[in-house]
Amino acid sequence: MTAVHGTAVNIPTPDGTADAYLAHPDDGGPHAAVLLYMDAFGLRPQLKKMADRIAGAGYTVLVPNVFYRHGRAPVVELPDFIGPDQRPGIFERIVPVLQSLTPELVVRDADAYLRWLAACPQATDGPIGITGYCMGAGLALRTACAYPDRVAAVAGFHGGNLASDAADSPHLLADRITAEVYFGHADQDHSMPPEQIERLEKALTAAGVRHRCEVYPGAHHGYTQADTNAYNPVGDERHWTALEDLLARAL
């Protein structure tokens, strides 16, 4: 792993300014870009550590606060460790914010993030990679569908409702994807039950998308997040291997 430099940055969007975290190798050169989409708990030290790890493998990583319309991160104050006792109170505040982020706003913001990376001196020209966690997996999928010419790789881990019955479910746009896709599902995730996993797999296959969808045994929704009680170290390391392999192939 190379030395990494991390800094706070601001991204202009049509609706304001998104605060974000940027991490990149501390070698002065440009590197292939990766957009990291947060989980519902938001931009915090845990996600910065994850961005640093990806940057240490040789990438320039941007982690936007996708809830920026409601304030700078942390939009909701969080404890150092999110356990079962804290979750109900946190989600009571987060859910209305999450529900206000419509698919239309996601696509509009994604354009701003991609344009910012395209102009970033630390990022090389060319398509980027995306990785998303929990709600971020859906954002990653929507971004890959909306901007196929700008996304070469998309990964999602413990994503929820990726292939629901909703009329705007992201799997319905699979035929727009040109990127290589990887999903690491948790086998104990009520937001992504077996029928949705199967539906997503069928949609990607029918669209001819290069993809791999795997189910991680013994993993709960949020298994990559070390600052929560959902963390599963075995699943987390498996996720890192899959993500690093995907980025190496595609970028």
Sign, CA dihedral 128-133-136-137, equals positive
Given 31, 134, 220, 239, which residue is catalytic?
Answer: 134
What is the helix, strand, coil percentage profile of the chain, to 5? 40, 25, 35
Task: Count other Cβ atoms within 10 Å, centred on residue 55.
Answer: 26
Q: Which helix (H) or strand (E) holds 25?
A: strand 16-25
19 is catalytic: no
Q: Which candidate, 3, 8, 88, places its Cα nearest to that of 45?
A: 8
Contact 50, 58 (CB under 8 A): no
The residues pairing with 34 across neighbouring beta strands, listed in sequence order, are 61, 129
Task: Count other Cβ atoms within 10 Å, centred on residue 4.
Answer: 18
Given 19, 39, 189, 227, which residue is catalytic?
Answer: 189
Q: Is the peptide bond before 25 cis (omega within 30 degrees of 0)?
A: no
Separation between Cα atoms, residue 150 and residue 163, nearest integer Å: 23
Sequence letter at residue 89: G
Separation between Cα atoms, residue 176 and residue 47, nearest integer Å: 29
189 is catalytic: yes
The residues pairing with 151 across neighbouring beta strands, listed in sequence order, are 128
User: Which single residue is written with the structure tokens 């392999």?
Assistant: 245
Given 221, 227, 236, 239, which residue is catalytic?
Answer: 221
Catalytic residues: 134, 189, 221
